[in-house]
Amino acid sequence: MGENMKYLINNIAKLMGISTNAVRYYEKKGIIHSERDRSNYRWYSDFDIIKISAARLCIKCGFSHEQIQKMLGSSDSDITDIWREKLSSIDRQLENLKRMRHWLKDNIQLMNTLDEIGDGYYIMECPEVKYIVYSKGGELLCEPDRLKSIKTLVYDAPEIQLIEIFGLEDIKRGSFVSRKGWAIKEMDISKFGLEDFVNDNGYIMTYPKKKCLYYTMKIPSEYGYDRSYMNKKRAEYFEKASAYAKSCGMNICGDIMEFIVSALGSTVGMLVCMPVE
């Protein structure tokens, strides 16, 4: 008798922890099949329970209903191919999650660094950075190959940072001509398999490894749209940092790079690298 057990839709729904509408959906999609009695009640078998369970396990693994339907009636080898394709997709997702995790850890560390430096200064070597500029002096740079290169860098290497670079000679003349772009640490390039892309790309620039005086800037976000205010504050920070460097017997010897650490909160937080010797 046990081999011929039949179940009403309510029994199936309670057993599987789903709604009766979900059971009907599985039937509509051809995953299960009911039999009707004289009173037009739906009756399901043990095999229907097995098939719902198998479908729900696939859903738990991220398969879509369309992919599950594709498995229906397929050969074992075809189903194995579908599973392999899903496994490859999961592997790519895991790799991307690792990258996002690393990016978050880096940015948490940068936020902590902003707090640790505060109004002070810190001297250390800045790692070599590769960067690509999307704007210079307020003008967007939209050459097709540059845009293509930007897209590759932004999407294939999620561990990038927003930057602004200011020429030292411009700053000395009281002018802040900004080059805006995205940067990636040289040590991360091989991790993403971007060596050939970086080495053969004329739009990729290098900010070499050098000793830098680090300081922080925090500007209320409401002034983020006011370029003149921002540059006025930059000039103030630069003057103070220059005086500190001079007191330590050091000279400024290169362009200034700002790493934009945070821009969505109440303040715009920047970590500034000033090359010194």
CA separation for the pair 214, 120 (Å, rounded): 9
pLDDT of residue 1: 41
Residue 177, judged by CB atoms within 10 A of its CB (0-12, 13-18, 19+), counts as middle
What's the pTM value of the predicted model, to 2 decimals?
0.73
Q: Which amino acid does the sequence have at 16?
A: M
Tokens of 152: 């590759």
CATH entry 2.40.160 includes domain 97-275 = no
CA separation for the pair 164, 24 (Å, rounded): 57
Sheet of strand 35-36: strand arrangement:
6-8, 42-45, 35-36
Tens of pLDDT, residue by residue, the chain (277 residues)? 445 688 999 999 999 899 999 999 999 999 999 998 888 889 999 999 999 999 999 999 999 988 998 999 899 999 999 999 999 999 989 988 888 888 888 889 889 999 999 999 999 998 889 999 999 988 999 999 999 999 888 877 767 899 999 999 999 888 899 999 999 888 888 877 888 888 888 999 999 999 999 999 999 999 989 999 999 999 999 999 999 999 999 999 999 999 999 999 999 999 999 999 9
CATH entry 3.90.1150.10 includes domain 2-73 = no
Torsion sign over Cα 54, 87, 150, 101: positive
Torsion sign over Cα 150, 156, 157, 160: positive
Ordered by start, the domain boundaries in the chain are 2-73, 97-275
